[in-house]
Structure 1
Amino acid sequence: MLESINLSSLPAFLLILVRVTSFFVTVPIFSYKNIPNHFKIGCSFFLAWIMYYTISIPEIVLDETFILLVFKEAIVGLFLGLIAYMILAALQVAGGFIDFQMGFAIANVIDPQTGAQSPLTGQYFYTIALLFLLVVNGHHLLIDGIFYSYQTVPLDAFIPFGNEAFSELITQTMSRMFLIAFQMAIPVVGCLFLVDVALGIIARTVPQLNVFVVGLPLKILVSFIVLLPFLGLYAGLVKNLFGITLQTMRSLLEIFGGA
């Protein structure tokens, strides 16, 4: 068994392992803090071992260039997972907009992925999206993304850091994330704005009525009434969101490949 191991190909395997492990650090689902680290390392190792026998392996030499290739592989894996998380973060941003109008902004929950506080509605949207992602085997598409990345960014190739398209892609991704979040939150936020206008009119016409006591439960009730029919359209929105995520990952790989 030991005689069949080609030690000259060990640097190439290490580069594959670095990219896959870096990808699992930031990509949704796999990067959750409640997933044990040894499980992530094990999945990364066996996935890298499978990919080692399925992709074309160039000759990699252990020299000063190898250190630069290790940093390049880490950057590719981290940015691929991060760009996927940035698009899906639109769900939490939309929930933050809704919670701020509902009055739920004072009651946040802990996001298991980042360990930071997250809005209630945003975490609810995000959990449904991840469950939908698992049901339709979307996590397989994410793994396909890191697998086919070697066709665009080979192991022995470097990233063209002088390409201005990279900064443009990050800017467009951020703006698209906030645009999607605003479009998802506008039905509820718009209705709550009308409720605020109505409460303001009532406060002027009936000064004896305490609108702060009546307004909070009324806004929560209106939010739930608007959210119920909205959940029926939520699956379609999440599907389009996944399509945008995969398209953005593909565009990032093309930029890293020098396109």
Structure 2
Amino acid sequence: MNGWADQVLLLGVSTARIAVAFLMLPMFASETVPPLVRNSIFISLGLVSLSLQPPLDIATIGAERWAGIFAKEAFVGLVIGFFFGSVLWALEAAGQIIDTKVGATMAQIVDPLSGHQTSLNGAFLGRLANLVFIFSGGLSLVVRVIIESYAIWPIAAPMPTLDPRGVMLFEAEFGRLMVLATLFAAPVLTVLFLIDAGLGLMNRFAQQLNVFTMSMSIKALAATAVILLLLGSYVGAIVRDIASRPAVLIELMKAFDP
């Protein structure tokens, strides 16, 4: 290879970790950020990360090792993006759970931030989570963790092996995502279950009343009202969770043996 080709290859490797980490976040979907702008951000950060790396002798690296390096960089970016994006997906999932209970999932829409179908409250809470992530400094924290990860997992390092402590952290993160979604939706679900119980008692004594038709409108209004009351709590929970992510990721990265 000539000098320019070597530098382009190194830039591609150094950009892979950054690109995968940011693409895991919903606000960097292709429907939201134009590819030219998004790729320019990735390459700019890749140049910074490349300048932080020790010299790498490309002549001694074969095709198989290059494939392993690219796979490792993508894996590291996937880990970082997943741990930062879990709370965003949890709040959107809570909105979907609420709409399922209300019966509003029959009106599915396409969320431009994620590119997939979602319910109305799911789309609203998903956008709220993304806005909170941005204005609370979440993107700066992602960049900080990515830069720090190069000190633990340099580009030239082999694919890290996961020890039992690291596996437990992954399992805990999957469980935490489901717990967060349930906790976010729990106050609204409690109100909806009480409404169902009240309408059930009403139907017991007024059997000619079409409770099912009434319940969807009543539950939709009640769910919206409770969600609006909980917005401050949702924002505070997301801000605290985002602030705790760097420490968790550093612990996870140290659980690997590069």
Per the alignment, in what secondary structure is the counterpart of residue 27 of structure 2?
coil
Spell out, residue by residue over 1:50-80, the C-alpha distance to the aligned partner (whole angstroms, 9 max, x if none).
2222x24242434222332122112212232
1:15 to 2, 13, 16: 13
Alpha-carbon distance between aligned partners in 2 of 1:33 and 1:170, rounded to the nearest angstrom: 29
Larger mean Cα displacement after TM superposition, 106-115 or 147-156: 106-115
Q: Deviations over 1:82-122 (max 9, x none)?
A: 33223321011111111112221111221224421112112
Gaps spanning 5+ residues in structure 2: where?
A: none
Shift of 1:186: 0.7
Please state if 1:27 is matched with 2:30: no
Name the stretch that deviates more: 12-21 or 197-206: 12-21
1:95-114 alignment, distance < 5 Å? 95-114=95-114
Question: Following the alignment from structure 1 to structure 2, what is the Cα–Cα distance between the partners of residues 7 and 32?
Answer: 28
Return 5+ residue gaps in structure 1 as ranges.
none
Whichever residue aligns with residue 17 of structure 1, its letter is T
Whether contact under 8 Å (1:27, 1:80) holds in the other structure is: no
CA contact under 8 A between 1:69 and 1:156: conserved in structure 2?
A: yes
Distance 1:241 1:32, change over 3 A: farther
Within a 5 Å distance, the mapping from 1:83-98 to structure 2 comes to 83-98=83-98
Counterpart of 2:171 in structure 1 is 171
Contact (CA 8 Å) 1:26, 1:85: kept in 2 or not? Answer: yes
Displacement, 1:32? 4.3
**Distance in 2 between residues matched to 1:58 and 1:252, nearest whole Å:** 26
Superimposed CA distance per residue, residues 189-211 of structure 1 (whole angstroms, 9 cap, x where no aligned partner): 01110111111111111112111
Change over 3 Å in CA distance of 1:70–1:228 after alignment to 2: closer
Residue identity matched to 1:43: I
Between the aligned partners of 2:119 and 2:257, the Cα distance in structure 1 is 37
Provide the residue aligned with 1:216 in structure 2: 216
Whole-Å separation in 2 of the counterparts to 1:18 and 1:222: 45
CA distance in 1, matches of 2:94, 2:217: 21
Deviation track 1:135-184 (CA, whole Å, cap 9, x = no partner) reads 23321111112111101111222233352334322221111011111111
**1:27/1:214 CA distance change after superposition, 3 Å:** closer
Match of 1:67 in 2: 67
Contact 1:15 1:70 in 2 (8 A): yes
Which residue is equivalent to 1:39?
37
- Greater CA drift, 206-215 or 244-253: 244-253
Aligned to 2:209, the other structure's residue is in SS state: coil
Residue 136 of structure 2 is matched in structure 1 by 136
Conserved 8 A contact 2:18-2:146: yes
Distance 1:233 1:6 in 2: 52
TM-score, structure 2 normalization = 0.87
Structure 1 residues 232 and 71: CA distance shift in structure 2, 3 A: closer
* Alpha-carbon separation, structure 2, partners of 1:212 and 1:256: 54
Please give the TM-score of this superposition, normalised by the length of structure 1: 0.87
CA contact (8 A) 2:20 2:77 kept: yes
In 1, distance between residues paired with 2:240 and 2:168? Answer: 22
Q: Matches of 2:207 and 2:254 in 1, distance apart?
A: 62
Distance 1:201 1:58 in 2: 74
Q: For residues 135-154 of structure 1, what are the structure 2 equivalents within 5 Å?
A: 135-154=135-154
Between the two proteins, what is the percent identity of the paired residues? 26
- State the alpha-carbon separation in 2 of the partners of residues 228 and 27 from structure 1: 25
Matched, 1:57 2:81: no
Contact in 2 for aligned 1:12/1:60 (Cα 8 Å): no
The structural deviation recorded for 1:19 is 1.8
Change (3 A) 1:119 1:248: farther
Aligned AA (1:147): I
CA distance in 2 between counterparts of 1:210 and 1:68 reads 63
Q: Distance in 2 between matches of 1:174 and 1:145?
A: 20
Amino acid at match of 1:188: V
- Asked if structure 1 preserves the Cα contact closer than 8 Å seen for 2:86 and 2:177, the reply is yes
CA distance in 1, matches of 2:248, 2:28: 19
Q: How many residues align?
A: 253
Q: Could you list the per-position Cα deviations for residues 214-243 of structure 1 after superposition, in whole angstroms to 9, with x for gaps in the alignment? A: 211111222223223212322211112313
